[in-house]
């Protein structure tokens, strides 16, 4: 969960790990820092913005008139909301700390933009997108490969829109499937391009979409999954998400769950299709036999 919160590069099976390590090795050798940003900076999921907004609204309600009666300045009230929103101040302790906080910070007004080490002043994640490059034609026909599935949670929809736009020249090389909203994003981005191959359009996640992608994995028709996860919200279809995660690991397919990992995965997809290297993306051509895992 925390790898999603802090957008840390992540690989959960051998295929994804091999792809990740090879891209990292190339990045280190070429000194391409754009592929190594999680190793130099503390990133954040875009969901943190939504979470903090919700928490600050709760804090404002809890503080209410008490802050005004105590003569707290607007700036101090905002600072308390930031503390609460970041999870640094528990709800039951919020009101108890008002007076102590005012006295402690009276001589040193907070610079809220820098308070608490936010990724940037607005609290939004720094989205790392690498452009897909030139308009090179696909190395192989998408019909010859398994599908690439794209999924995103509600607070990650705009991130998925940006991601698809940035990487459309690579994504168009694959047969694309995914949940309802994400498929709409793909079709909107590519328009009526007759060269784009689509797989099944699944339902919305809470209505069984993730389970439908899982069934495609079991039917050996998915070679990779990009699932932009919201780690800070409850999901009514949590069991479906867990099943999808388990199957990507069991069938050893390429899998990414945040933008850092997805960017590395797209780089791997681009290089493999440019060079016609099946061994770089084996899960799009072959099915791993889970019986090899043993008992």
Kindly list the catalytic residues.
210
Helix (H, G, I), strand (E, B) or coil at 8: coil
Alpha-carbon gap, residue 111 to 82, rounded angstroms: 12
Q: Please choose, from the candidates 226, 215, 140, the residue with its C-alpha nearest in 3D space to the C-alpha of residue 183.
A: 226
Q: Which of 30, 139, 34, 31 is nearest to 9 (CA)?
A: 34
End-to-end CA distance of the chain: 27
Say how many C-beta atoms besides its own lie within 10 A of residue 272's C-beta: 22
Contacts of 233 (CB under 8 A, 6+ apart): 47, 50, 51, 153, 154, 155
Task: Please answer whether residues 13 and 249 qualify as being in contact, where contact means their C-beta atoms are separated by less than 8 angstroms.
Answer: yes
Number of Cβ within a 10 Å radius of residue 186:
22
Cα–Cα distances (Å) from 86 to 63, 89, 98, in that order, read: 16, 8, 17
CA angle (13, 19, 172) in 5-degree steps: 110
Q: At what angle do helices 74-85 and 47-69 cross, to 10 degrees?
A: 140
């Amino acid at each position: 969960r925390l790898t999603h919160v802090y957008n840390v590069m992540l690989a959960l099976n051998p295929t994804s790990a091999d792809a990740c390590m090879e891209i990292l090795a190339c990045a280190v050798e070429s000194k391409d820092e754009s592929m190594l940003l999680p190793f130099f900076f503390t990133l954040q999921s875009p969901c943190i913005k939504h979470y903090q907004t919700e928490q600050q609204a709760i804090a404002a309600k809890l503080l209410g008139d008490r802050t005004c009666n105590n003569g707290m300045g607007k700036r101090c009230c905002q600072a308390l909301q930031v503390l609460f929103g970041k999870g640094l101040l528990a709800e039951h302790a919020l009101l108890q700390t008002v007076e102590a906080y005012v006295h402690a910070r009276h001589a040193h007004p907070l610079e809220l933009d820098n308070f608490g080490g936010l990724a940037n002043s607005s609290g939004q994640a720094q989205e790392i997108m690498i452009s897909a490059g030139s308009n090179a034609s696909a190395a192989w026909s998408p019909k010859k490969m398994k599908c690439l599935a794209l999924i995103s949670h509600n607070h990650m929809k705009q991130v998925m829109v940006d991601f698809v736009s940035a990487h459309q020249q690579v994504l168009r090389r694959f047969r694309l499937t995914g949940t309802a909203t994400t498929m709409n994003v793909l079709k909107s981005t590519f328009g009526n391009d007759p060269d784009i191959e689509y797989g099944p359009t699944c339902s919305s996640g809470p209505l069984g979409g993730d389970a439908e992608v899982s069934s495609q994995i079991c039917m050996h028709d998915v070679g990779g999954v990009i699932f932009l996860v919201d780690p800070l919200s409850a999901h009514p279809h949590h069991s479906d998400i867990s099943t999808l995660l388990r199957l990507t690991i069991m069938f050893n397919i390429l899998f990414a769950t945040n933008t850092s990992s997805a960017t590395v995965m797209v780089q791997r997809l681009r290089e493999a299709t440019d060079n016609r290297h099946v061994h770089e993306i084996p899960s799009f051509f072959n099915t791993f036999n889970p019986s090899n895992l043993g008992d």
